[in-house]
C-alpha cells in the first residue's frame, strides 16, 4: 500500500485526537507529507476515528488529486497541502477543535507568551480572522497566520499545528491547547505577566537543543 507507514500512523493519531481531548466526534484532521514522493496522506471526511483502517486514509498530490484511496478526503485538505507547497520545515499538519484554543479563536485573541511553553510554536500564537471551513481563503489565512510559527488559531473555528513529523505536530497541538487554557484562565483571573521578547528569544534558543540527547560512545 502506498505510504502504508504514514497511513497507519495517521489512524493511531486520529484516535489520540479524541482520547487526548483535542477534538470531539469526527472534528479535526491530520496529514503527513512524503517529500520524496511529493504526496501527502490525509484523513478522510467524516468517518468514525475508531473504525478507521490505514486504507481509509487518502493519498493525494499537492494539487488536490487523489492518488490512492477510495474515501473522500477531509474537506480541509487544501489547508494541509498549502503548507507542504510553501513550508520546507513542515511535513505534518494537525487540525483540532480543542476546547480552549477554540474559545480563544472565538474571541479572535492571539495567545500571548504568559507561559514559556508557547515557545514550542514560537513567540506567540496568532489568531486569523474567520474564513469558511474548507475554503481556499481559510488555507491562505492559516499559512499567513502560522508564518515563522508552528501553530495558529483559526478565527471562530479551532487550532492548526505543524511540525517536522506527525509526533512533533501532535505535540505542538497539545502544548498550544495547554497554553490556550493557561492564557484564558489568567485573563479570567486578572492580567497575566507576559514574557518579554528577549526572554522568549532565550526560550526559543533553549528549545532548539531541548530533548536532544548527546551521542554516547559505546
Ligand atoms: Zn475544523
d(CA 144, CA 148) in angstroms, rounded, equals 9
Let me know: does 106 contact 156? Beta carbons within 8 Å.
yes
Q: What pLDDT is stored for residue 208 in this prediction? A: 85
Please spell the DSSP secondary structure of 56-104, one letter per residue. Answer: GSEEEETTS-EEE-SSPBPTTHHHHHHHHHH-TT--EEEEE--HHHHHH
Active-site position among 4, 6, 53, 76: 76
Residue 75 CA, ligand 1 centroid: distance in Å: 9
Residue 89 CA, ligand 1 centroid: distance in Å: 23
d(CA 62, CA 39) in angstroms, rounded, equals 6
Q: What pLDDT is stored for residue 210 in this prediction? A: 74
Residue 210 CA, ligand 1 centroid: distance in Å: 31
Each residue's pLDDT, cut to its tens digit, for the chain (218 residues) gives 999 999 999 999 999 999 999 998 888 999 999 999 999 999 999 999 999 999 999 999 999 999 999 999 999 999 999 999 999 999 999 999 999 999 999 999 999 999 999 999 999 999 999 999 999 999 999 999 999 999 999 999 999 999 999 999 999 999 999 999 999 999 999 999 999 999 999 999 998 877 666 666 65
Let me know if 76 is a catalytic residue: yes
Angstrom CA distances, 71 to 13, 35, 54, 57, stand at 18, 23, 11, 7
Q: Which residues lie below 8 Å from residue 213, measured CB to CB, with a gap of 6+?
A: none
Environment of ion ligand 1 (residues, CB < 5 A): 158
Residue 215 CA, ligand 1 centroid: distance in Å: 41
Q: What pLDDT is stored for residue 103 in this prediction? A: 98
Per the confidence metrics, is the pTM higher than 0.85?
A: yes
Residue 96 CA, ligand 1 centroid: distance in Å: 6
Q: What pLDDT is stored for residue 211 in this prediction? A: 66
Amino acid at each position: 500500500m502506498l505510504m502504508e507507514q504514514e497511513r497507519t500512523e495517521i489512524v493511531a493519531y486520529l484516535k489520540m485526537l479524541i482520547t487526548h481531548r483535542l477534538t470531539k466526534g469526527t472534528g479535526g484532521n491530520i496529514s503527513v507529507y512524503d517529500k520524496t514522493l511529493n504526496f501527502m496522506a490525509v484523513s478522510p471526511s467524516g468517518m468514525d476515528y475508531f473504525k478507521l483502517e490505514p486504507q481509509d486514509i487518502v493519498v493525494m498530490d499537492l494539487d488536490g488529486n487523489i492518488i490512492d484511496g477510495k474515501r473522500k478526503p477531509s474537506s480541509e485538505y487544501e489547508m494541509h497541502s498549502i503548507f507542504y507547497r510553501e513550508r520546507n520545515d513542515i511535513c505534518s499538519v494537525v487540525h483540532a477543535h480543542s476546547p480552549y484554543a477554540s474559545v480563544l479563536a472565538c474571541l479572535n485573541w492571539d495567545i500571548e507568551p504568559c507561559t514559556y511553553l508557547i515557545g514550542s510554536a514560537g513567540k506567540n500564537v496568532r489568531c486569523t480572522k474567520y474564513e469558511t471551513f474548507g475554503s481556499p481563503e481559510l488555507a491562505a489565512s492559516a499559512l499567513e497566520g502560522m508564518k515563522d510559527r508552528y501553530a495558529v488559531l483559526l478565527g471562530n473555528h479551532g487550532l492548526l499545528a505543524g511540525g517536522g513529523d506527525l509526533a512533533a505536530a501532535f505535540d505542538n497541538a497539545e502544548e498550544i491547547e495547554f497554553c490556550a487554557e493557561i492564557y484564558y484562565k489568567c485573563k479570567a483571573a486578572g492580567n497575566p505577566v507576559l514574557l518579554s521578547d528577549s526572554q522568549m528569544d532565550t526560550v526559543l534558543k533553549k528549545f532548539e537543543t531541548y530533548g536532544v540527547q548527546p551521542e554516547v560512545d559505546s
